[in-house]
Structure formats: structure tokens, C-alpha cells
Amino acid sequence: MSTEVNNDINQSIINNNEDKVDDKITDKISIIDKSIKRLTQLMTKPEKNRNVYLKNLETAFELIEWTLKKYKLMFASSPKYIFKRDIYYCELGKNIGSEQGGRRPVVIIQNDNGNKSSTTTMIAVITTHQGSKLVKVDNYYELHYNDNYGNNVKRKLSYYEIPVELEKNPHEKIEGIINLSQIYTISKKRLVGNHVAKITEDCFYDISSALLRMFDIKLKKKI
């Protein structure tokens, strides 16, 4: 078989494959269009209560905005180096129920071997309370704040709520509570920019102790 014939056959195969890819692209675009229409119908479904309807539309808008941002994050770069105890801002997104969302400060709790080798990391969310104050009482902390009715409230922190303690000279002073009930495994792409602070070794020890209690881990070996 001549070289010219071989080239013609190869070119025919290439053209055929390109046609198949084009057909698949057309099909996917059609599927996406139909899915968007179904989503629009679901999100804009009328409610008798106008206030409820408005709230649902606001939630729908927030979900769409987050989907657009999340799509862009998929193609974004991630921090080259991250380390245990670092604090970053993180894009947690629009979530469900009591799950933390939005852009929040988080602390890296994964060990550095994992941070070096994996495209994901484990974080705990740092929560803040506007107008609140942390007060140490004996061997525990209380959160002092005013409720919606203007009443002064004093609440003892749960064992899984660890006050943030920073190493000296942070890039940004982060105040709040490390909430170990809000732990996530995330893509590093969700982390924004460079780390802004680092918690102390003592603070991380408190985190480790609380995690052992949270997961009911007994370190004594059974005999």
C-alpha cells in the first residue's frame, strides 16, 4: 500500500473522529441547555406567600452566583505550599442548613505530609461573632454578647470550640473560635491567596485533644 493511500486513510480516520467529537459537543450543549431550563423552572416556581417566594429567589440567586464562582475555581491555581496551623481565607460557598458558607477564615489541621502530597487538605472553620467578647473564667472560656432583644448573654464554650491564639506578627489579626464541628476536606483551590496568620502550638494541642474527644478515640491499647 502506497504512502499516499495510507495518508488518505489516516486523514479519513481523523476527520471521522473530529465529526464524532463535534456531535458529542452538540449533544452536551443541548443537555446543558435543558438542565438550565429545568433549574430555572424549579428556582422560579411561584409561592403563595410573597415573602417566602422572595426568599426562595434570593437563595436561588446565591446558589447560581456560587456555581459560577465554583466553576472558575476548578480552573484556578492553588497555593504552592501550605502547612499545618496556617490560617487562610477559604471559599466555602453556598451550603445547606447550618453548614458554614461564604468566604471564611479557616485553619489547616491536616499534617504536612498530607499537605505536601495531596491536592486536598483538611480545615476547621473559624467563626466570629459581631460585638462578642471572649472571657476566660477559671479553666474555661465564655462568649459574652447581646442577643436580638438586647439582652446580655454569657455562654460557656463547648469542648469543640477552641479560641484562636496566634503566633506573633501575623499578616492579619484573626479573632474568633475554631469550630471543630465544622471540619471539611477541601480542594486547595478554595484557599484564597497566601496564609494570613498561624495558630500557636498550644492552640493546636487544644484542637488535637478536642478531636480525640469528638471522635471518642481511646489511645490506650487493648490487652
Banded pLDDT at 171 (limits 50, 70, 90): very high
Q: Where are the domains of the chain?
A: 21-75, 86-215
3-state SS of the chain is CCHHHHHHHHHHHHHHHHHHHHHHHHHHHHHHHHHHHHHHHHHCCCCCCHHHHHHHHHHHHHHHHHHHHHHHHCCCCCCCCCCCCEEEEEECCCCCCCCCCCEEEEEECCCHHHHHHCCEEEEEEEECCCCCEEEEECCEEEEEEECCCCCEEEEECCCCEEECCECCCCCCCCCCEEEEEEEEEEEHHHEEEEEEEEECHHHHHHHHHHHHHHCCCCCCCCC
* Res. 212: pLDDT tops 60: yes
Q: What is the model's pTM?
A: 0.81
> Residue 192 in contact with residue 89, Cβ under 8 Å?
yes
Instruction: Calculate the average pLDDT of the chain.
Output: 89
One-letter amino acid at 82 equals I
Furthest-apart CA atoms within the chain: distance in Å: 92
CATH number for the region 86-215 comes to 2.30.30.110
pLDDT top residue among 93 and 200: 200
Share of the chain above pLDDT 90, in %: 65
User: Residue 9 has what pLDDT?
Assistant: 54
Q: Which three cell numbers stand for residue 105?
A: 477564615
User: Residue 166 has what pLDDT?
Assistant: 96
| Integer Cα distance of 139 and 129 in angstroms | 22
Say which range, 1-5, 69-73, 180-184, 188-192, has the weakest mean pLDDT.
Answer: 1-5
> Residue 157 in contact with residue 141, Cβ under 8 Å?
yes
Per residue in 22-81, pLDDT tens?
A: 888 999 999 999 999 999 999 999 999 999 999 999 999 999 999 999 999 999 999 989
* Res. 5: pLDDT tops 90: no
User: Residue 68 has what pLDDT?
Assistant: 93
User: Residue 2 has what pLDDT?
Assistant: 56
Average pLDDT over residues 123-147: 87
Give the number of residues written for the chain. Answer: 223
* Res. 108: pLDDT tops 70: yes
Exposure string of 174-207, with b = 16+ CB inside 10 Å and e = fewer, is: bebbbbbebbbebebbbbbeebbbbbeeebbebb
Sign of CA dihedral 212, 89, 196, 130: negative
* Res. 223: pLDDT tops 80: no
Structural Rg of the chain based on CA atoms: 25
Per residue in 32-48, pLDDT tens?
A: 999 999 999 999 999 99
pLDDT top residue among 147 and 179: 179
